[in-house]
Amino acid sequence: MKLTRKPGEPIYLRRHLLALALAVGLPVVLLQLYKIYVGPMSFGAQMGFGILVSILAGIILYYTYRSSAQNQP
C-alpha cells in the first residue's frame, strides 16, 4: 500500500525526525553530562541553559531543513 500525501502536507524525511529528536534530547543530555563531570548547578542555570540550547537547536533545524520540508502544491 502506497501512502499518499494530501495537497499542502509537508514532506518529512527520516533525517528531519532524527534531527528533531536530537534537538529535543540534546539539552537534557548536556545537562546530565555537566552534572556528572563538573557538579551540580542551580535550577535557574539549568533552565537557562536548556532554553538557550533548545532555541539554538531550533534555529539550526529551521535553516538546515526548511528547503527540503516545504509544502508541495
Quick: pLDDT tens for 20-60: 788 888 888 888 888 899 888 899 988 898 888 888 888 88
**Alpha-carbon span 34 to 39, nearest angstrom:** 7
Range list of H helices, 1-73: 14-37, 43-65
Nearest Cα residue to 13 out of 67, 68, 58, 71: 68
With 0.85 as the threshold, say if the pTM is over it.
no
Higher pLDDT, 70 or 28: 28
- Domain membership flag for residue 2: no
Provide the domain count of the chain: 1
Q: Which residue has the cell 538546515?
A: 64
- Domain membership flag for residue 56: yes
Does residue 70 have a pLDDT over 80? no
Domain that holds residue 20: 14-65
User: Quick one: pLDDT at residue 9?
Assistant: 62
Q: What angle do CA 25, 31, 33 make, to 5 degrees?
A: 100
